[in-house]
Amino acid sequence: MGVVHGEEMVLNIGPQHPATHGVLRLQVRTDGEVVSEVTPYLGYLHRCFEKHCENVTYEQVIPFTDRCDYLASMTNNFGYVVAMEGLMDIKVNERVEHIRVIMAELQRIASHLLGLGAFGLDIGAFTPFLHMLRDRERILDLFEMTCGARLLYNYMWVGGLSHDLPVGFVESTYRFLDYFEPKIDEFVKLLVHNKIFVERTADVGRLPQDVAISYGVSGPNLRASGQKWDLRKDDPYSIYDRFEFDIPVGEGGKGSVGDCWDRFYVRVLEMKESIKILRQALSSLPKEGDVYQSLPKKIRPPIGSIYKRTESPRGDLGYYIESDGTNIPYRLKMRSPAFTALSVIDEIAAGWLLSDVLAILGSLDIVLGEIDR
């Protein structure tokens, strides 16, 4: 980091630190409490995802996508199977599409819950975090009754699903939604409009729209900067074009557009929108339909490549798949939204106080598994 001048101090946050959400190392140059430069060092969780993909078959890639963004495994599976189905030109039936959307939206809520809770934790509010985890458990129960796993599901397969919905799933999901909707309001009361919380987050770490686009920031972080961009609406995949929902964007409710509070509040609103989608998808879920109907006997996509993006809870999740006609991917690259979101940290965190840097980091909602892959 070069020469350290006078009063300055170089401080290593991480790789093991309660606020880094995993094993990230931030090297910050500080003068007292004021941070002048933030340099992230990645790779402490580099698990060679792409190398594995070049060595295992297309089906076996799915569990590895689970483990990339371990807070949103369903949407990671979803992105991969959408890309593969695009490459192989497979159409899946209505029931499968509906179940996929239901799972993805439940996963979005679960992921946002943990992201918001962890952000609160970074600010020092411990209790909302546990309340969030408590409600998240209920979503995990739904996943568990569907596919038996709590965290890493391997649920969506190319051309279908690993299991059909169990008996009583729809009712349980409705029950969960009825339980959860008032909880959002409670959460808003507890944290979102908390005076101290607002003081800590409003106007802090403003991310202008053009900077966000240049850094490839996507998802809720980009929307908080005022850009109305959601792949579910703007480049619809699966059956998202059938549902009615809004795209919440940051409006600077407590400070200016694109600050930490906006990034936080957009996620809260997105959970509400997900509930809307869930209710529509549950009501239009077809009773009939075999989830194994279009499972290919052998996955051997034609020679060629595809780049397909889907909207994961963290933003544009892209898969670049290069096929050489065999049953093993020639190259598979994952464009992870958290990777691009983290890259912007120096731009928006420099000049703030040490506590703010950690708040800004929390507001970006990163998952190290996806950054390092």
Partner 1 sequence: MSTDQDKLITELVEKGLTGDMEPINSIEDRVLRSKAKAALAKAKRAAKSQETAEPKKKKSEEKSSDDLPSSVNLNEKIVYMINEKFSGSLANENTETHIQLKSDQWFEIATWLKSEPSLFFDSLQCQTGIDVGDNTLEARYNFHSMKHNHYTEIRIAVPRKEATIPSVEQIWRIADWFERETYDMLGIEFSGHRDLRRILLPDDWEGWPLRKDYLVQETYHGIVVPKMKEGWE
Partner 2 sequence: MDPDGINELQWSRRNKMGLLENRFNDNVIVEKLDKLLSWGRSTSPWFFQFGTACCAIEMMAAAASRHDLMRIGMIPRSSPRQADVMIVAGTVTMKMALRVKKLYEQMADPKYVVAMGSCATSGGPYWQHGYHVLKGVDIVIPVDVYVPGCPPRPEALIEGLLKLQEQILDERPLTRKMA
Partner 3 sequence: MTVDFIFDFLNQFFTSLAGNEFLLLVAILLPCVVLFGFITIYALVVIYTELKVSSFIQDKVGPMGQGVGIHAGKWGLLQPIADALKLLSKEDIIPSSANRPLFVLAPFMIFVGAFISFVALPFGDSIIIADLNIGIFYILGIGSLAVISLILAGWSSNNKWSLYGGMRSAAQIVSYEIPAGISLITVIMLAGTLNMQDIIIYQQGGIFNWILFDNPFIPVAFVIYFISALAETNRTPFDLPESESELVAGFVTEYSGMRYAFFFLSEYANMFVVSAVAATGFLGGWQSPFPNALNSPGWGVFWMMGKTFFLIFIMIWIRWTVPRLRVDQLMNVCWKVFLPIGLVNIFGVAIWTVLFG
Residue 67 interacting partner from partner 1, partner 3, partner 2, none (CB closer than 5 to 8 Å by kind):
partner 2
Residue 194 interacting partner from partner 1, partner 2, partner 3, none (CB closer than 5 to 8 Å by kind):
partner 3
CB of 51 to partner 1, least distance (A): 6
253: its two tokens: 């409710």
Positions touching partner 1 (CB under 8 A) are 42-43, 46, 48, 50-51, 54, 210-211, 213-216, 227, 229, 234-235, 304-305, 307, 309, 316, 318, 320, 322, 330-331, 333, 335, 339-340, 343-344, 347, 372-373
Q: Does the protein bind partner 2 through residue 368 (CB under 8 A)?
A: yes
The span from the CA of 72 to the CA of 26, in Å, is 24
Task: Single out the residue of 148, 163, 158, 161 nearest to residue 59, CA to CA.
Answer: 158
> 181-240: which residues touch partner 3 (CB under 8 A)?
190-191, 194, 196-197, 199-200
Q: Does the protein bind partner 2 through residue 18 (CB under 8 A)?
A: yes
Q: Does the protein bind partner 2 through residue 114 (CB under 8 A)?
A: yes
Under 8 Å between Cβ of 4 and 10: yes
Q: Does the protein bind partner 3 through residue 134 (CB under 8 A)?
A: yes
> 52-71: which residues touch partner 2 (CB under 8 A)?
52, 55-56, 63-64, 67, 70-71
Q: Tell me the per-residue interface mask from 149 to 168 with partner 2, x by CB under 8 A, - otherwise.
A: -xxx----------------
The 8-class DSSP code of residue 227 comes to -
Task: Single out the residue of 161, 162, 207, 167 nearest to residue 315, CA to CA.
Answer: 207
142: its two tokens: 């739904």
Under 8 Å between Cβ of 163 and 147: yes
CB of 373 to partner 2, least distance (A): 10
Closer residue to partner 1, CB minimum distance, 120 or 369: 369
Instruction: Tell me the sheet residues that pair with 26.
Output: 13, 40
Under 8 Å between Cβ of 98 and 274: no
Among 51, 55, 126, 185, binds partner 3 (CB under 8 A): 126
Residue 309 interacting partner from partner 2, partner 1, partner 3, none (CB closer than 5 to 8 Å by kind):
partner 1
The span from the CA of 252 to the CA of 258, in Å, is 7
Instruction: Tell me the sheet residues that pair with 335.
Output: 318
Phi, psi (degrees; rounded to nearest 5) at 322: -110, 125
Q: Judged by CB under 8 A, which stretch of 45-53, 116-124, 209-217, 343-351 contacts partner 3?
A: 116-124
Left, alpha or beta for 310 (phi > 0: left; psi -120 to 50: alpha)?
A: beta
Under 8 Å between Cβ of 70 and 149: no
Positions that interact with partner 3 (CB under 8 A): 9, 11-12, 17-19, 32-33, 120-127, 130-131, 134, 190-191, 194, 196-197, 199-200, 353-356, 358
